[in-house]
Amino acid sequence: MSKSKNPLYVVSKNGVDVEAANNIVEMLLKKLNLDALIPVLNAIVDTLFQSVTSYPIFIEVKKVFDRIFEQIINLLFELQMKFTKK
């Protein structure tokens, strides 16, 4: 991976801690202290995948994922619009 010309950094604890972020999503997760939420979300996804035992259940799980991803995409679009407005 090549180095970014404009890297993102997350500064916390009044400038004591500085962490690099690979993208805007990672930066937001770190800035809002939501990076600890990722293992919880992984556990939820694993549980949903384990519950798929038939095609009808698969369709219901897919509907849940579709709703979640639609909301995430909308949120990312709104954030992108806010960050690009200057």
Q: What are phi and psi of 9, to 5 degrees?
A: -130, 145
Domain ranges in the chain are 1-35, 36-86
**Listed residue (33, 23, 38, 39) closest to 79, CA to CA:** 23
> Does position 58 have pLDDT exceeding 90, yes or no?
yes
Q: What are the C-alpha distances in Å from 36 to residues 30, 48, 49, 63, 70?
A: 9, 20, 21, 26, 22
Mean predicted confidence (pLDDT) in 55-66: 93
Tokens coding 1? 């991976």
**Residue that wins the pLDDT comparison between 80 and 1:** 80
pLDDT tens digits along 4-55? 566 788 887 777 788 888 887 788 788 888 888 888 888 988 998 898 999 9
Q: What is the pLDDT of residue 70?
A: 93
> Residue 2: what pLDDT?
54
